Amino acid sequence: MNKAFEDFLAWTCANEWGSEETQKKTLNNGVTLSIWDSGVLEVSPPKPGKKDIVLSCAVHGNETAPIEICRDIINDIITEKQTVIHRTLFLIANPASINKGERFVEENMNRLFSGAHSNGKAHNKERERAAKIEQYVKRFYETSPEGERERLHYDLHTAIRDSKREKFAVYPFTHGKPYNKHQLQFLLACGVDTVLLNQAPTTTFSYFSVNEFNAHAFTVELGKVRPFGENDRSKFAAAEQTLRRLISEDSLDFGSFEPNKHFIFKEAQTINRMNEDFELNFADDVANFTSFDKGDLLARDGDENLYAQHDGEHIIFPNAKVALGQRALLTVVRVPTESLELE
């Protein structure tokens, strides 16, 4: 068997910044596999269902649980153990950062979408790769069969810190469009009962798919960063199983929507690091979703003190070492699920 189809992840990592060798193969079950680049695999069933699904991992190379999940699903597709009835695009976004075992090589790829890769004078391989990935997503969504389609994108990550809520998703800014009940139920079936609602555009991959392709797209955080082989896969079994069902079943029925099963948080503050002397006012081992009260000092940025603005303001993704101008801390407050406009 061809190397790329023998072990797609290994071949991808051996061609870490891309490969111009496009490859195609039709399996005995009629499913066609097309490799557009390293890490970019389109799976096309002979009579595709109505969903166009993007599953991405390794936007950050050290977030290995999602890479293991995608690797195993891809291998099972190639060996025909996993059926696929909807067009699916797998993206292993930043293989060079996997090889390095780090979040990124030169620049955080998840700040480079929606054209941010071309802002300013900087040039690097992550920028080039982000630009190519945008084009692959565009090509995938825009070459779908005629008729009403549902576009989906789950961008799988893990968090740097421990979290009081182990699995959670970021719902990118919808520009006022209602939130989707079925998507909240899908996330819940993945074991993700906690969802953070962004209140403004970002340059993340999931927002790109929401904003440019009207997809239901999410950043999904599946636990904590660990090296390959050290993930407790039983903790992500529901996510893996539900993703497998998504690509192989016509539609998923989760029964009636139960608001009390979903824990929804709304963005309160996004604190960007603007100065070299930036520090968080809590220890490195303080977990995501730790709650602060109004007036508590959260961070110092140069001469400015930044405080919690609400009681019950929870900290997410604290990272004092981000590049200047980037998000060093997100804070969120709980909102009742019933308060959301849902479709």
Ligand X SMILES: O=C(O)CCC(=O)N[C@@H](CCC(=O)O)C(=O)O
Annotate each residue in 218-257 with x if it binds ligand X (CB under 6 A) or - if it does not, as one string: -x--------------------------------------
179 contributes a contact to ligand X by CB under 6 A: no
* Burial environment of residue 314 by CB neighbours within 10 A (0 to 12, 13 to 18, 19 or more): buried
Cβ proximity of 271 and 306 under 8 Å: yes
- Residue 3 in tokens: 């190397």
Question: In the complex, what is the shortest distance from the CB of residue 4 to ligand X, in angstroms, rounded to a whole number?
Answer: 27
Q: Which of 51, 157, 216, 314 binds ligand X (CB under 6 A)?
A: 157
DSSP three-state, residue 81 = coil
Q: Is 74 in the site for ligand X (CB under 6 A)?
A: no
For Zn ion, which is the closer residue by CB, 93 or 215? Answer: 93
Q: At 259, list the tokens.
A: 């608001």
CB of 293 to ligand X, least distance (A): 22
Minimal distance in Å, beta carbon 87 to ligand X?
24
Give the residue with the Cβ less far from Zn ion, 93 or 243.
Answer: 93
Identify whether 212 is a catalytic site residue: no
Q: Is 63 annotated as a binding residue?
A: yes
Query: Shortest gap between Cβ of 192 and Zn ion (angstroms)?
Result: 15
Give the whole-angstrom CA distance, residue 74 versus residue 61: 18
Count of residues near ligand X by CB under 6 A: 12
Residue 14 or 160 having the CB closest to Zn ion: 160
Q: How far is the CB of 184 from Zn ion (least distance, A)?
A: 21
Report d(CA 31, CA 85) in Å as an integer: 9
Residue 110 or 242: the one with the smaller Cβ distance to ligand X is: 110
- Residue whose tokens read 């797609």: 8
For residues 9-44, one letter each, b for 16 or more C-beta atoms within 10 angstroms of the residue's C-beta and e for the rest, the string is: bebbbebbbbbeeeeeeebeeebebebbbbbbbbbb
End-to-end CA distance of the chain: 46
Judge whether 262 and 191 are in contact, CB under 8 Å.
no
Taking CB under 6 A as the binding criterion, the range among 153-161, 254-262, 291-299, 301-309 that sits at the site for ligand X is 153-161
Q: Is 216 in the site for ligand X (CB under 6 A)?
A: no
Count how many residues are written for the chain.
Answer: 343
> Would you say 60 is a known binding-site residue?
yes
Residues 6+ apart with CB under 8 A from 105: 61, 94, 96, 97, 124, 125, 126
317 binds ligand X (CB under 6 A): yes
User: 221, 240, 267, 313: which one is catalytic?
Assistant: 221
CB of 218 to Zn ion, least distance (A): 13
> Is residue 319 part of the contact set for ligand X (CB under 6 A)?
yes
Selected range binding Zn ion among 59-67, 121-129, 171-179, 283-291, rule: CB under 5 A = 59-67
117 binds Zn ion (CB under 5 A): no
CA dist 180 and 183 (Å) reads 5
Written as one string, the DSSP assignment of 14-54 is HTTT-----EEEE-TTS-EEEEEETTEEEEE-SS--SEEEE
Question: Is there binding between residue 60 and Zn ion (CB under 5 A)?
Answer: yes
Give the three-state DSSP class for 322. Answer: coil
Of the residues 51, 127, 151, 157, which one makes contact with Zn ion according to CB under 5 A: 157
Q: In this structure, are strands 216-224 and 167-171 parallel, antiparallel, or unpaired?
A: antiparallel
Residues at the annotated binding site?
Answer: 60, 63, 157
Residues at the annotated binding site for Zn(2+)?
Answer: 60, 63, 157
Residues lying near ligand X in the complex (CB under 6 A): 60, 110, 157, 159-161, 170, 204, 206, 219, 317, 319
| Residues taking part in catalysis | 221
Residues lying near Zn ion in the complex (CB under 5 A): 60, 63, 157
